[in-house]
Amino acid sequence: MQSAEVKQRLFNAVDELRPQLVQTLQELVRIPSVVGDEARAQQYIQKLYQDLGLTVEMVEPDMEAVRQHPGFIDTKVPYEGRPNVIGTLPGDEAAPSLVINGHVDVVSVEPRNLWPRDPWSGEVEGGRLHGRGSADMKSGLIANYFALKAALKAGLRPKGMVRLMSVIDEEAGGAGGTLACLLAGYRADALLITEPHGMNVTIANAGVNHFRVYLKGRSAHGGTSHLGVNAIGKVLPIYQALADLDEKRGREVKYPLFEKGSGRSCHVTVGTLHAGDWPSTVPGDAVMECRISFVPGETREEIRALVENTVAQAASTDPWLQEHPPKVEWFAWQTSPWQQDPEHHFVQALMSAAVDVAGRPVDFIGRASGLDSRFAPDFGMVAACTGPKGANIHGIDEYVELDSVVDTAKVVALAMLNWCGVAD
Identify the pLDDT of residue 74: 84
162 lies in the same domain as 254: no
Distance between CA atoms of 68 and 246, rounded to whole angstroms? 33
Identify the pLDDT of residue 163: 98
283 lies in the same domain as 357: no
Q: Residue 230's domain is classified under what CATH number?
A: 3.30.70.360
Omega before 111 within 30 of 0, i.e. cis: yes
10 Å CB burial of residue 101 (0-12, 13-18, 19+) is: buried
Among 335, 364, 396, the domain-final residue is 335
Among 335, 357, 376, the domain-final residue is 335
Identify the pLDDT of residue 173: 84
List beta partners, residue 271: none
14 lies in the same domain as 150: yes
144 lies in the same domain as 26: yes
One-letter identity of residue 189: D
Name 418's Cβ contacts closer than 8 Å, sequence gap at least 6: 1, 2, 349, 350, 352, 353
Identify the pLDDT of residue 206: 96
- The SS3 of residue 201 is strand
Strands 364-367 and 207-216: unpaired
118 lies in the same domain as 181: yes
Number of domains into which the chain is organized? 2
Strand order in the sheet with 327-335: 268-275, 285-294, 207-216, 327-335
266: left (phi over 0), alpha (psi -120 to 50) or beta: beta
Identify the pLDDT of residue 82: 96
H helices, E strands: number in the chain: 12, 19
Among 284, 319, 335, the domain-final residue is 335
CA dihedral 39, 44, 45, 46 (to 10 degrees): 80
398 lies in the same domain as 260: no
48 lies in the same domain as 193: yes
199 lies in the same domain as 224: no
The pTM score is 0.92
- The SS3 of residue 294 is strand
Name 263's Cβ contacts closer than 8 Å, sequence gap at least 6: none
Identify the pLDDT of residue 172: 87
Identify the pLDDT of residue 75: 83
Q: Residue 392's domain is classified under what CATH number?
A: 3.40.630.10
DSSP letters of 45-111?
HHHHHHHTT-EEEEE---HHHHHTSTT----S---TT--EEEEEE---TTS--EEEEEE--B----S
Distance between CA atoms of 28 and 103, rounded to whole angstroms? 12
Q: From first to last of its 424 residues, what are the pLDDT tens digits of the chain?
A: 899 999 999 999 999 999 999 999 999 999 999 999 999 999 999 999 999 999 999 999 998 899 999 888 888 889 999 999 999 999 999 999 999 999 999 999 999 999 999 999 999 999 999 999 999 999 999 999 999 999 999 999 999 999 999 999 999 887 999 999 999 999 999 999 999 988 899 999 999 999 999 999 999 999 999 999 999 999 999 999 999 999 999 999 999 999 999 999 999 999 999 999 999 999 999 999 999 999 999 999 999 999 999 999 999 999 999 999 999 999 988 999 999 999 999 999 999 999 999 999 999 999 999 899 999 999 999 999 999 999 999 999 999 999 999 999 999 999 999 999 999 8
349 lies in the same domain as 331: no
The residue range of the domain holding 309 is 208-335
Name 261's Cβ contacts closer than 8 Å, sequence gap at least 6: 197, 200, 202, 365, 366, 367, 368
